[in-house]
Structure 1
């Protein structure tokens, strides 16, 4: 019996090592694609290009939708940051989704808002809208007060109110760089609107200097848990999304900062209120519509326009967030499971869907067993110690080394962190990822999968302290 267990565990260890080796090869290819793409765009964003865009009649107006639930701490700063963005025409629609705090009062008082009567075409179903307000200080700032229905429902209500052909979803705790919209709209304009959705980068704003809603100085937090999230975001956006976007394989446009052609969102039926991963689910649905209608449209990720947002600073809140993300990923893949390995959906069905299933979703389970086998190999005789060491080295390469390459891409291309000390700290912290942070996130992601079967739907609240002075 002992021999059978030993053999089974050793076979499992070799399978996990093989899995990690294949995934690492995939990421190495992604690294070179991303590095080439980022370097080819390096220092090509001359100011005069965006000045020309700002004055061009081809630059389409945007409706910026900010869903807000209990965002009284950061909502004023976020909206104020939008007032100074460099873009020719836009409107700001804050959707108060039945907040229990003073979000509604904060918006009304700060922006001196008055009720207005507007005939709204309900293109997408949403919870009841109680009132619409317009600022007397800035006539392009609106506030929608509605019954609580969740983020997706709030976005759908905002889409119904929106007057312009493009919509942007933006989190209520976020601050945009001044030229962010010009940069994120550029591929849409250059493609003659063949690009129907774009997403920018999300960066961690904790400990950055933000005054009056404007980013003044980028600083790296001193909290290890926040630093590791910075590294994680760099890896996800620079190493992952650049490569996927290059071949129109992108399945996620972050709900914190994404621009969509309104007509296509309405055609897709809006955001799905029955999933916690509404941003990914919408993008997958758009890919489905594109392929089923034989359209030549694209969804792209643009690395340079950055949205700065507040990250969790406590283990408890971070755990909730990562578990929720994993539930959302599962729900999106399950809802569109017939696209998996389906040649009808091109590379999205053959490459993207399997990647997100076997690497992003089930990868957490594989890594969990990998860590478990390392422990078994160290403390028991079921696995040869040499095999346990090999498995740990693969785990280290799989986690920490990939994170270090993402830090290198940041330094080689966008360079948002100007302080050399910050880059060194990011690099050194990425070396430690496999020893503590990666196992924690793996555990939380597995917990998220377990929650799927318990039918847990709650978002979980995130306590914010605000990122702007």
Structure 2
């Protein structure tokens, strides 16, 4: 006879088994991440970046940055993007139908004029109204694309890809600050590997509370407000810990929309960014992996453990929740769209390893946590509970979670020595122990809300992020 108590006991057994598998996976990821970082720094100078910076025969790169109502910071940000220390590049800013004076500020500051431009719409976008170039030779590398609003970063990025003249492009956000050698560092994997590289990514850091001077990072600080502080931990864990491990096994499924370099021909063949996606960066990588598997062509997607980009993250609850709900919905949207790859041997590691991982250990985790709370509540109210065992298990999970994050901090400090004082590093470590209690439940709530929005087909909205701007360092 099936009873409620039997169901609860079977769920507890399943949860215990699931937790063991989850922990084993993260132990494996930790080992792979360490090996990948060690391998990277052992071979870092095999092809020194200075060779690329000083060579006139290196690969050309287009930096693509969509802008919508960015008048407050647009001039500063464009000047920062133009500071790249690389011989052959261009900066393409896409004015995606801004309703403020973003375009006019660009025209005035950079002496822009409308030019005749041979524009091929290889990827369909909203209509492009014109292209602008500067009459000042100092800004010869700058191209402005003015287009009608496409209601997504994807549509604007595709217009930039159509306008790009070089074979590689970097997709970034106009508010991002790039390290001066970003192009050189991201280009190296395309040159060093004999197998075709179709994308590269690198670590992104949080700019909130950091100081910048002349468009470059001047002094790094640990964020001083609630949400950015915990997001710093997330970024460390995901970029240094997770993505390095997946790169090591060529299973990387996510190159951040804030910083990623791509082979333009491959992206165009795959159809560019999907303008209806709420997680366009992950969806594009999934689709180009699918393309390469179907062509039966070997490929690599590489990730490097260098901090090459700084970006502002949400600092208040409304914008943070809006972002995380969109990310959660983008995850399930991508998994659903590419469901035919799931456990399909035709798609190699993508179908057999990485998509199942994202389904069972990314998408499913918030649902399991909610079910666990419900089952625990029923157990406490109606059945006997071994509180000693419950405490031991909870403590073990808590310590494992914090240990993973502490390892990420250790690796980051070993490689980058990012923080300017012991006090900031100490604060970061304290946040590690508060994150599971204060911050993680908010993320679970946002994920579940995103899933509900997807299954109820609630109208999708990207929403706007209110920016505080960068802190300028004082002389």
| TM-score computed with the length of structure 2 as normaliser | 0.93
SS at match of 1:442: helix
SS of corresponding position for 2:334: helix
- Aligned equivalent of 2:146: 145
The answer on whether the counterparts of 1:132 and 1:145 sit within 8 Å (CA) in structure 2 is: yes
Higher relative contact order (CA closer than 8 Å, sequence separation 6+): 1
Instruction: Tell me the residue number matched to 2:39.
Output: 40
Matched, 1:231 2:233: yes
Deviates more, 1:349-358 or 1:418-427: 418-427
Deviation at 1:301, TM superposition (A): 1.1
Q: Find out whether 1:81 has 2:83 as its counterpart.
A: no
Aligned pairs for 1:30-109 within 5 A? 30-42=29-41, 45=44, 49-109=48-108
For 1:228, what is the secondary structure of its paired residue? helix
Q: Secondary structure at the match of 2:227?
A: helix
Distance 1:128 1:23, change over 3 A: same
User: Is the Cα–Cα contact under 8 Å of residues 39 and 412 in structure 1 kept in the other structure?
Assistant: no
Instruction: Kindly state the Cα deviation for residue 6 of structure 1 after the two structures are TM-superposed.
Output: 3.6
* Distance in 2, Cα, partners of 1:261 & 1:273: 19
Task: Return the offset for 1:325.
Answer: 0.6
Aligned residue in 1 for 2:20:
21
Shift of 1:113: 1.4
Q: Paired residue for 2:466, among 449, 463, 466?
A: 463
Return closer, same or farther for 1:383/1:12 CA change in 2, 3 Å cut-off. Answer: farther
Asked if 2 retains the 8 angstrom alpha-carbon contact of 1:271 and 1:282, the reply is yes
| 1:158 aligned partner | 160
Alpha-carbon distance between aligned partners in 2 of 1:324 and 1:235, rounded to the nearest angstrom = 20
Contact 2:226-2:315 at 8 Å conserved across structures: no
Moved more, 323-332 or 408-417: 408-417
Aligned counterpart for 2:178 among listed residues 176, 185, 190: 176
- 1:433 deviates by 1.4
Partners of 2:18 and 2:340 in 1: how far apart? 24
Cα shift readout 1:379-412 (whole Å, capped 9, x = no counterpart): 7756432343244235414533322221122122
Find the counterpart in structure 2 of residue 451 from structure 1.
453
3-state SS of 1:460 partner? coil
Q: Specify whether residues 380 and 42 from structure 1 end up closer, same or farther in structure 2 by C-alpha distance, changes over 3 A only.
A: farther
Q: SS in structure 1 opposite 2:203?
A: strand
Which stretch has the larger CA shift, 144-153 or 392-401? 392-401
Report how far residue 282 of structure 1 moved: 1.0
Match of 1:241 among 237, 240, 243: 243
The two structures have a TM-score, normalised by structure 1, of 0.94
Range 320-329 or range 97-106, more displaced? 97-106
Shift of 1:413: 2.4
Match of 2:277 in 1: 275
Equivalent in the alignment of 1:205: 207
Shift in Å at residue 83 of structure 1?
Answer: 1.5
Give the secondary structure class of the aligned counterpart of 2:124.
coil
Structure 1 residue 414, shift from structure 2 partner: 2.9
Q: Which residue of 2 aligns with 1:284?
A: 286
Mapped contact 1:42–1:414 kept (Cα < 8 A) = no
Deviations along 1:113-160, whole A, 9 cap, x unmatched?
111111211111000111211123302111111111111110111111
Count of matched residue pairs: 468
Shift of 1:178: 1.1
Question: Structure 1 residue 347: deviation in Å?
Answer: 1.3
State the Cα distance separating 1:197 from its structure 2 match: 0.8
Whole-Å Cα distance in 2 between the matches of residues 394 and 205 of structure 1?
33
Higher mean alpha-carbon deviation, 87-96 vs 69-78, is at: 69-78
**CA shift digits 1:289-324 (9 cap, x unpaired):** 111111121111112142100011101111111111
Please state how far the C-alpha of 1:58 moved relative to its aligned partner. Answer: 4.7
| Aligned-residue offset at 1:378 | 6.2
